[in-house]
Amino acid sequence: MKPKVLKKGDKVAIISPASPTTKEKVEKARLAVEKIGLTPIVYPSCLSNHGHLSGTDNIRAKDINDAFENKEISGIICLKGGYGTPRLLNLIDYEIIKKNPKYFIGYSDITGLHIALNKMCNLVTYHGPMAAAGWINHLDDYTLEYLEKSLYSKESLGIIENPEGEKIETLYSGTCEGEIVGGNLSLLVTTLGSPYEIDTKDKIIFIEEVTEHNYKIDRMLMSLDLAGKFSDCSGIILGTFSKCEPDTKADNFKDLDLMTVFNEIIGKYKKPTVYNFRAGHNYPQPTFPFGVKVKLNADDATIEFLEPSNI
């Protein structure tokens, strides 16, 4: 299911499904959404907190269900990431969402919701900057261009170019086509063995991560490997692995570098694979949809979105 394209003035819900933030940042996020031409409606989770969570599970899940059910709301923008979305997956009313497909955007911990909405509702969702983690301070020309294309255009994104000075690189050559799925590595692993486990069969999987030592990246990629996610996918796009660095062990032994980890775990499958696609915990970053058909040409290191993401 594809959401309806947004237009200037549409009402959008700002929800906080993961970690909390300050009232000051919520207000700045509201103003940032207004500045881009939308009418923000701040939901209760944005102004709540429950320890490291932005409100209790019931408050945060209710905001998701209410925002999808409310006929006056045209889109849903996540406030920020952090942690908390896996706690909500059994509390979401997926039947409501199936009846009310809407624009939904976020990244990082929001991956938990992307996976569930993609799998349980077949809904196209968007990986991109969040209201208090991007829209406030990071709407550079590149980030804004891709955000507005995804918000307001019915055209397919076509080939996504990296920001100037950054190059998408080839890990293993070849070409493939398939639906793009994925997100943050930690969340992809968290849902393994659950009803929300990511389906990578004949699909192109996108993976990014932040502030994890290389051995932990290795461990999480191995979890996906053991679950068959690399053997049954069509291709792999590795995004940014921001601040992911080697750890020094006892006796001064050091982690493998990330390229060695990628080659040993992913490269062995000889699937078309690229790395340094500048999407993840970094700016500038593109906004792009999950759940649409993509052509990955690892020979030319290009990623082409073949169909519109909305109606």
Which residues pair with residue 133 across a beta bridge? 130
Residue type, 67: A
Q: Report the distance separating Cα 169 and Cα 79, nearest Å.
A: 32
Which residues pair with residue 204 across a beta bridge? 180, 235
Q: Cα 164–167–170 angle (5° rounding)?
A: 165
Q: Spell out the residues 6+ positions from residue 156 whose beta carbon is closer than 8 angstroms to its own.
A: 292, 305, 306, 307, 308, 309
Q: For residue 214, which of 245, 250, 251 has the smallest C-alpha distance?
A: 245
Q: Determine what percent of the chain falls in helix, strand and coil, rounding each to the nearest 5.
A: 30, 25, 45
Q: Report the distance separating Cα 164 and Cα 162, nearest Å.
A: 6
CB–CB of 149/275 below 8 Å?
Answer: no
Give the Cβ contact number of residue 280 at 10 Å.
22
Catalytic residue among 19, 108, 150, 309: 108
Distance of CA 277 to the CA centre of its chain: 13
**CA-based end-to-end distance of the chain:** 9
CB–CB of 227/194 below 8 Å?
Answer: no
Residue type, 97: I
* Residue 161 among the catalytic residues: no
CB–CB of 204/175 below 8 Å?
Answer: no
Catalytic residue among 54, 150, 208, 234: 208
Catalytic residue among 114, 150, 281, 309: 281
* Residue 164 among the catalytic residues: no
* Residue 179 among the catalytic residues: no
Q: Report the distance separating Cα 32 and Cα 189, nearest Å.
A: 33
**8-state DSSP, 300:** T
Which of the residues are catalytic? Answer: 108, 208, 281
